[in-house]
Chains A and B, each alone.
Chain A
Amino acid sequence: MSLREDQIERYSRQIILSDIGGRGQEKLLQAKVLVIGAGGLGSPCAIYLASAGIGKLGLVDSDAVELNNLQRQILHSTQDVGRAKVESAKGRLNLINTDVEVIPYRLRLTSENILDIIKNYDIIVDGSDNFPTRYLVNDACVLSKKPLSHGGIFRFDGQALTIIPGESACYRCLFPEPPPPGLVPSCQEAGILGAVAGVIGVIQANEVLKYILGIGKLLTGKLLVFNALDSSFRQVKVPRDPKCPVCSEYPTITKLIDYEEFCQLRKKE
């Protein structure tokens, strides 16, 4: 492919970077990225990916926009309250950049549908909001050998980890099992500072861009831990677990699991 005049102008500030150039921009325009969750993490992530000219951006979310989302879910506006998040997001992202083909998936990921969806993408971004989905996404990415950018946020804390299946530690190498229902605070009592979602979501976008461009060092084999109150970023090592239930040589999990939903707020659906 060759870049159009308006594309050379639009992306000039990144094309000028010697690590990117016209070749790198072409890679971005041909890349296919799936963002799971059009919420706190998915919003800033998708905005930066669309702005950078990712060619195809899939968005998965089953929810509609609520007023209390707007404090951090910057893809959506006041007028979008009540609309499907994926539709609101598609509208916003197309306003930013028509080079990007946005594919909305208004659904909940399950063991039945996830493999079919992720197979069409080069890299997956997990910006979901619950443990069952996070473990489902990790396992599906490991089984399909799809790179995954994991991000999680809670109150003033954020975490990010990039997973290259077969090469670097997966989420189960880090935390082998999800917490049982009742042992973690419910979504309702948790709370989150919007800017924390921004920090982690943008780090996830940065990981995706580096992966597609093949530049820099990915956040593989180490967990980035952000604390907003002391503005600290720390990293701890995440080795591959030789006894990992899903990505080790002799896995005990070879099929996808739909864990029991335990966030009380979800029950109303």
Chain B
Amino acid sequence: MSIKVRIPTPLQKLTENKAEVEAEAKDIRELIEDLERKFPGIKERLCDEKGALRRFINIYVNEEDIRFLEKDNTPLKDKDEVSIIPAIAGGAR
């Protein structure tokens, strides 16, 4: 089962500059573990020391924020698209 994952610019250093990667997973928790296997270091950017998703980074399955689904238990199916979207602050300077 193949899930397409969109990686935001700040994390692309960890994914060899790829904006889109593939992962194998049945839910978001497995997806994060699979990403960590392929791109070591990415998990600590996404999750805090307790393993919870950081409050300034959201994960979307298709267009839906997993915080309003089943959080990291949100199930994934083939062809789902996952987007990781962090808060960004730039503007004036």
Q: Which residues of A contact B93 (CB under 8 A)?
A: 39-40, 63, 69, 129-130, 187, 265
Shortest B91–chain A CB gap in Å is 4
A255 to B39, CA, bound (A): 41
Shortest A105–chain B CB gap in Å is 13
Residues of B within 8 A of A (CB): 8-10, 19, 54-56, 58, 60, 63-65, 67-68, 83, 85-93
Instruction: Give the size range of A's interface with the partner.
Output: 35 or more
Q: Assuming the A-B contacts A37-B92, A237-B63, are A177 and B85 also in contact, with contact meaning beta carbons closer than 8 angstroms in the complex?
A: no
**Contact yes or no, B19 A153, CB < 8 A:** no
A236 partner, pick from B55, B65, B86, beta carbons under 8 A: B65
Q: Which residues of B contact A223 (CB under 8 A)?
A: 85
**Contact yes or no, A127 B58, CB < 8 A:** no
Q: Assuming the A-B contacts A185-B10, A234-B83, are A178 and B92 also in contact, with contact meaning beta carbons closer than 8 angstroms in the complex?
A: no
Q: Assuming the A-B contacts A155-B9, A230-B19, are A174 and B58 also in contact, with contact meaning beta carbons closer than 8 angstroms in the complex?
A: yes
Cβ-based interface call for A198 (8 A)? no
Shortest B5–chain A CB gap in Å is 14
* A-B contacts, 8 listed (Cβ < 8 Å): A38-B92, A42-B91, A63-B93, A69-B93, A152-B87, A190-B90, A227-B19, A265-B93
Shortest A35–chain B CB gap in Å is 10
**Contact yes or no, A131 B87, CB < 8 A:** yes
Q: Assuming the A-B contacts A154-B9, A155-B9, A237-B64, are A131 and B89 also in contact, with contact meaning beta carbons closer than 8 angstroms in the complex?
A: yes
B-facing residues in A201-258 (Cβ within 8 Å)? 223, 225, 227, 229-230, 234-239, 241
B63 partner, pick from A42, A183, A192, A235, beta carbons under 8 A: A235
Shortest A197–chain B CB gap in Å is 8
Q: Assuming the A-B contacts A175-B58, A230-B19, A237-B65, are A184 and B92 also in contact, with contact meaning beta carbons closer than 8 angstroms in the complex?
A: no
**Contact yes or no, B87 A178, CB < 8 A:** yes
Q: Which residues of A contact B19 (CB under 8 A)?
A: 227, 229-230
